Structure formats: C-alpha cells, structure tokens
Amino acid sequence: MRHLSPRTASVAAASLVLAMGAAACAGPKDSGGATPRAAGKPHKGGTLSILNSQPQTDFDPARLYTSGGGNVPSLVFRTLTTRHRANGAAGAKVVPDLATDLGKPNKDATVWTYTLKEGLKYEDGTPITSADIKYGIERSFAAELSGGAPYLRDWLIGGDRYQGPYKDKKGLASIETPDAKTIVFHLNKPEGEFPYLATQTQTTPVPEAEDTGTKYEEHPLSSGPYKVVKNENDGERITLARNPYWSARTDPERKAYPDRIDVRSGLDSSVINQRLASSQGADTAAVTTDTNLGPAELAKVTGDKKLAARVGTGHFGYTNYIAFNPKVKPFDNPKVRQAISYAVDRSSVVNAAGGSALAEPATTFLPNQKSFGYTPYDHFPAGKTGDPAKARQLLKEAGYPKGLTVTLTHSNARDFETSPEIATALQDALKTAGITVKLKGLEDNDYKDKTKSVATEPGFFLAHWGADWPSGGPFLAPIFDGRQIVKDGANFNTGFLNDPSVNQEIDAINKLTDLNAAAQRWGALDKKIGAQALTVPLFHPVYKRLYGADIKNVVISDWTGVLDVSQVAVK
C-alpha cells in the first residue's frame, strides 16, 4: 500500500509572483472537468507538453508503482483493467482494458479468469497474447526490476518465493495461460478486489523476446496509443508519438487526441506554475500532473478570472491525521487520546494546510468519497474550533487534572501535510485544553524512518495515507489489520491494533466480489475502528493545478485527483 501519495507534489515558494497576480479571494468553485477555456469540441493533432516536478524515472511497467495504469505511463502501457476516464466520482470505477470484462471469479474469489479482446497489437503490429501478460507479471518479481506494487507477490500462490524469470525459467504456476486469449490467476486467499489490482502496470504485456532487462525502460514495447520515441536521462525528457497499431475500437477509455507528447520532469515547481500562468508559445498546450498551486499562488490566480478559469480541481483518496502509539505513555490511556481528539481545532489546521481551497476538514479516516464506502461519523465532536472544556474533563478523568505535557513529532518538509505549520496549529489548539505540546521536527527521511519502525515509533506524530485504488481495503487494512504489523520493516499499523473482530471483518469483506456491497462494509468498519481513537483525522487535501490556455477536454477523476492526459486535446 502506498503511504505517500503519488499525486502530492512539492509546493512552490509562497513568494512566487505569477504573471497576472491580483488580490486574494476565494478559490475557484470548479469540481474538476471542463472550464470555459477548456470547452469546445476537441480535435486530433498538435503536441501536448507535460511539465512535472517529480522525476519520471524507471519507465518500465515492472518497476512503476501506479494505480489505474498511472497517468503518463497509461499512454504507453495498457493493463487488464483500468480506471474509467470520467470526471469526479464516475472516474472512481474500474473498467476493462485489455480484458473483455472485470474478470470472472470462482465461488470464493481465489481464482480469477480473464479473456483478452480481439485485435490487440503492439507498436510493431504483433499480437498481444496472454503469455505476454504472464511474462510481464513474472519479470516484476525480479530483484533487478524492483519498485512496483507488492500485491501480486502477496496474493499469488507461490509469489512470496518466486524470484522472477531470469532466475526461475519455469515461471509462476499460479498464473495459467491455457490459450493465447486466456489468463488465470490462483490466489492464496479470497480477494474480491482483484479487478482493482489488475489495473497495476505489472499486468502490462511484455513479450519475452523483447525483454532487455534493466534497459527495457529505454524503449518499452507499447500496447497503448503512444510509443516511446526517446527517453533521455532516465525519464528527464520522454518523447511520445502515435502507436499506429493502437485501435480505439479496443480502447474506449483513452482518447489520444495529440499527435505527440513531450514529457519533461524534474522541473522546479515554481517554474512550472510560472510557465503555465504565462501560457506563452508551446506552454499554451501544456499541463502538469503533479504540481499544485500553493496558498499564495492560488490567491493570485483566483484574483484573475482568466487564470482562475484554467485551474483544475481534483480530489484523491488521501487523509492527513494524527497517529498515536498506545505503547507509549500517556497515549496508552484512551481518555488521553479522546481528549486530544476533542481539543483539535480543525479550522486552524485547514488554514495551516493552505486554507479551505486546498484542504477539507476530516472526522473519518476513510476519505469522503462513495467508492471508499464513506460513512459520516464524528465520535469526538469538537466543532470547527475544538472543545477544550470537554478535553479538560477527559484529562481529569484520565488522572491529569492539571493537564499534561507531550511531544508531537513531525517532518520539517514544507509539504503542507506533516509540516511545521500544521504542528504549530495543533500546539496552539491543545494549549487551550491544558495540554503543553513540545514540537520535535525531523528531516524528512529521518521522520519516515522513525515513524515506520516498531522500535522507534513516537507516541504522538503527524501522518498521512493515500490508497492505491479507490476502496476501503487498501486504506484500512495496512493501518488496522493486526496481521500486517511489521516488526522488522516498514510498519504502517501505527496504533498496533490487533483486534480479532477487525481482522475477521477485513477477511469477510475481501471475499465480496460486489464492490458496492464491499464499500458499505468498509464504511461501517471505519466507524467501528474510529471509536478507539487510535488516530485523529485532520483533513483531506484538495489539488489545484493550472493548465495552458489551449488545453481542451479537461477530465479529473476521484481515482487520481489529477488531470487525465489520455483525455486532453490541444486543438
């Protein structure tokens, strides 16, 4: 499961002066999708520029850690299933891609069978086969190609022992290909969400004869609408052109309007926003998929109607929260955890995170989206600004009538997630409830190491979690399934919860192949766990990103929260 959201980018310096800055005002009220500038019938042709701050390294389907086929990668790599390319909640649905359907499970969801569509071809015109998909998955197990999502290793029978095709030529017996169009997966436990897993880039077909190992990223064989023309400096600049053998008949999801796509990564985020705001020359046909507008930038942008019309708004399944370690005093006392829950001033936290245009207050651990099974609850209602009186009462009951002193650990990274600003806002709020908070800021790598180790986890720290697909499973299980507590590696069950009833319910939901029914159960489980006050949900981030003046057909789904480059037109 992914702890750091692939959609969360560094925030540009607050001092950035955009070309058409003006006085601050409320954020744009779009909810993703076409704005007036992005309206009009899209046409094929032209060159789309993608300006990103995060490096597009390891452009190999085995090594990419992406959901729904990724964004830029999904232009080249098709998978068994993919995300629906639609605005908002509709885009949180999983749909077939290379496969004819979402897969056919056996009775207990331990065996999944997929049939490939007719007419699928690579960029060289050769047909795509089920054996290629099997081989593509198997090579993702090789140590040389590490970095991809761990699910197939965890879910497939024998996956925990398999070392990849370079060492084991026999392959994985738990993946069968009875014919060129059929692929069958045998799992070690029921997994009703396998259709979501089948969106991962590891299910991209790779012909064994074309596999060049670690050099495959330089020119991977395309199964999508675009092929790699050039990959410079390990993804610093990737040039894509049309794959002549891609057929829209087999791929209703990707629109593939531009003739060429120029991807540049590793750019400074402030420069990206300056270029998009100015929208001159080739930048009129440019977008970003990872660089947010910061609070100061957003204030300037929204003060200009023309610029405000070029801001896309996205929501992604992501929660920022306080984590407690109940093995550390005084957080072993539930009443202390409850007192802090009541004392939190979410208004000040939201302001510290950039304001209401960039953050939405949260009282549930699951994101406030239907696909996750969102069930509203607030076990410790503190209102918008906290309830210090209730917090003091609980502290008294916990044996701290004169209050207490605690240490809050956070990252020094200025990412508006675990930042010093948020820590300071919490410090101020808890002070009114008689809780003195000492702040302990760590460099980001040190923060990650300490908060993810059972041996060094602090008692009270800031944390965040993003899901690999829009479901409660990859959100709740890593954080609250006691069987996923990792003693000698990266541990995400920060509250060390090992409740047999929670574990059993996770297993029961995993057996469900009705994703809507499963969502309802995830929501109910979230509510049950929330009563234990092992976390304090703070806010869900909102993504605000500029795009060039000539960009049309803006689609932003709740699956990714970012502009979908497979839908964009520049004419």
Confidence of residue 40 (pLDDT cuts 50, 70, 90): confident
Are residue 212 and residue 332 in the same domain, yes or no?
Answer: no
| 421 occurs within a structural domain | yes
Q: Which residue has the higher pLDDT, 60 or 37?
A: 60
| Pairwise CA distance, residues 273 & 296, whole Å | 12
Nearest alpha carbon to residue 533 among 391, 313, 341, 344: 341
Query: Would you say 219 and 228 are in contact if contact means Cβ atoms under 8 Å apart?
Result: yes
135-169: burial string, b at 16+ Cβ within 10 Å, e else:
bbbbbbbbeebeebbebbbebbbebeebebbeeee
| 125 occurs within a structural domain | yes
| 483 occurs within a structural domain | yes
pLDDT of residue 94: 97
Torsion angle (degrees, nearest 10) of CA 117, 123, 126, 129: -40
pLDDT of 70 > 80? The answer is no
pLDDT of residue 13: 31
Lowest mean pLDDT of 168-172, 338-342, 398-402, 423-427, name the range. Answer: 168-172
Angle at 488 between CA 4 and CA 322, to 5 degrees: 40
pLDDT of residue 553: 96
pLDDT of 21 > 80? The answer is no
Are residue 217 and residue 346 in the same domain, yes or no?
Answer: no
pLDDT of 415 > 90? The answer is no
Query: Would you say 227 and 241 are in contact if contact means Cβ atoms under 8 Å apart?
Result: yes
| 285 occurs within a structural domain | no
Confidence of residue 151 (pLDDT cuts 50, 70, 90): very high
Residue whose pair of structure tokens reads 């979410």 in the numeric block: 346
| 77 occurs within a structural domain | yes
Q: Which residue has the higher pLDDT, 391 or 68?
A: 391
| 309 occurs within a structural domain | no
Average of per-residue pLDDT across 9-15: 34
Domain CATH number, residue 363 = 3.10.105.10
pLDDT of 137 > 90? The answer is yes
| 32 occurs within a structural domain | no
Confidence of residue 418 (pLDDT cuts 50, 70, 90): low
The helix or strand, by DSSP H or E, that contains position 473, with its residue range, turns out to be helix 473-480
pLDDT of residue 416: 53
Average of per-residue pLDDT across 257-283: 96
Are residue 390 and residue 536 in the same domain, yes or no?
Answer: yes
pLDDT of 35 > 60? The answer is no
pLDDT of 399 > 80? The answer is yes
Are residue 64 and residue 208 in the same domain, yes or no?
Answer: yes
pLDDT of residue 405: 98
Nearest alpha carbon to residue 348 among 433, 463, 425, 432: 425
* pLDDT, tens digit, 9 for 90 and up, residues 275-292: 999 999 999 999 999 999
Are residue 190 and residue 339 in the same domain, yes or no?
Answer: no
pLDDT of residue 132: 98
Residue whose pair of structure tokens reads 């093995």 in the numeric block: 327
pLDDT of 84 > 50? The answer is yes
Domain CATH number, residue 129 = 3.40.190.10
Average of per-residue pLDDT across 532-537: 98
Q: Which domain holds residue 143?
A: 58-225
Radius of gyration of the chain (CA): 24
Average of per-residue pLDDT across 482-489: 93
Q: Which residue has the higher pLDDT, 37 or 495?
A: 495
pLDDT of residue 7: 36
pLDDT of 5 > 70? The answer is no
pLDDT of 17 > 60? The answer is no
Average of per-residue pLDDT across 487-502: 95
- Mean per-residue pLDDT of the chain: 91
Are residue 332 and residue 220 in the same domain, yes or no?
Answer: no
pLDDT of residue 162: 96
Angle at 114 between CA 113 and CA 117, to 5 degrees: 160
pLDDT of residue 24: 27
Average of per-residue pLDDT across 16-26: 31
| 254 occurs within a structural domain | no
| Pairwise CA distance, residues 541 & 359, whole Å | 4
**Which of 225, 259, 287 delimits the end of a domain?**
225
Phi/psi region, residue 560 (left: phi>0; alpha: psi -120 to 50; beta: rest), is: alpha
Average of per-residue pLDDT across 60-70: 77
Average of per-residue pLDDT across 217-239: 96
Are residue 330 and residue 473 in the same domain, yes or no?
Answer: yes
Q: How many domains, the chain?
A: 2
